[in-house]
Amino acid sequence: MNCAFCQDKDCFSGKDCLKNGERIKKLYTNNDINLLEASSAIEARYYMEKTRIEELILFSKEMGYERLGMAFCVGLEGEARQIGDLLQKDFKVDSVCCKVCGIDKSEFNLEQIDKKSFEVMCNPVGQANILNEKKTELNIIVGLCMGHDILFTQNSQAPVTTLVVKDRVLAHNPLGAIYSRYYQNKLK
């Protein structure tokens, strides 16, 4: 399977290249279908009209969510506060910083940025656990590190969406590396 390199994209016209459609349809649970219905409704009603954060709010309302969780990187504290302010107009919002619990990296023998100073580790399992205890209905990632986002998602009991992907070099716009001919040359 290598859809990224397919020139035809006949699936867009309804072709089942793998002849798996009927089997795959049976994998969808009622909860999956609810999520599909809400996301399709937002897409159909607001296509090319709403930003990702506006879509997040509309989707959460469509799903009937009342309590949202936000797991954020301390480096995006200001942005997390602004996002929280927006979301709190419509929802109860619980937010958890990546450094929650203040666990020293040495506790897990983790590599440090500066080996001469004390460093607190990021704690994505702790973030997920705290939001699980709050019984959030949807959790939002705001700039968690590569790998930490995976751990958070694996440990979250609520569905997870990513609002901000961390990219320290490209102002949190990872596609900038693809859109810039100069950066493409660097990657090659």
pLDDT tens-digit series, residues 68-96 = 999 999 999 999 999 999 999 999 999 99
Share of the chain above pLDDT 90, in %: 86
Query: Which range marks the domain in which residue 105 is found?
Result: 63-187
In a domain, residue 6? The reply is no
pLDDT for position 90:
98
Q: What is the rounded CA–CA span in Å between residue 147 and residue 101?
A: 19
Asked whether residue 158 is domain-assigned, the answer is yes
Mean pLDDT, all residues of the chain: 95
Nearest Cα to Cα of residue 72 among 171, 163, 169: 163
Instruction: Tell me the Cα Rg of the chain.
Output: 20
Mean pLDDT score, 17-40: 95
Provide, rounded to the nearest whole percent, the portion of the chain with pLDDT above 70: 100
151 touches 98 (CB < 8 A)? no
In a domain, 15, yes or no: no
Are the beta carbons of 172 and 145 closer than 8 angstroms? no
Nearest to 163 by CA among 178, 177, 151, 149: 149
- Indicate the number of domains in the chain: 1
pLDDT digits (tens, 9 = 90+) for 130-156: 999 999 999 999 999 999 999 999 999
Reply yes or no on whether the pLDDT at 171 is more than 90.
no
pLDDT of residue 184: 84
Determine, yes or no, domain membership for 44: no
Segment 48-58, tens digit of pLDDT: 999 999 999 99
Q: d(Cα 91, Cα 69) in Å, to the nearest integer? A: 10
User: Residue 84 sits in a domain of what CATH number?
Assistant: 3.40.50.2300
Q: Does residue 185 register a pLDDT over 90?
A: no
Let me know if residue 16 belongs to a domain: no
Residue 111 placed within a domain: yes
Q: Is 162 a residue whose pLDDT tops 90? A: yes
Domain membership of residue 17 (yes or no) is: no
The answer to whether position 20 is within a domain reads no
Q: How much is the pLDDT for 1?
A: 85
pLDDT at 163 over 90: yes
Question: Is the per-residue pLDDT at 181 higher than 90?
Answer: no
Statement: the pTM of the whole predicted model exceeds 0.85: yes
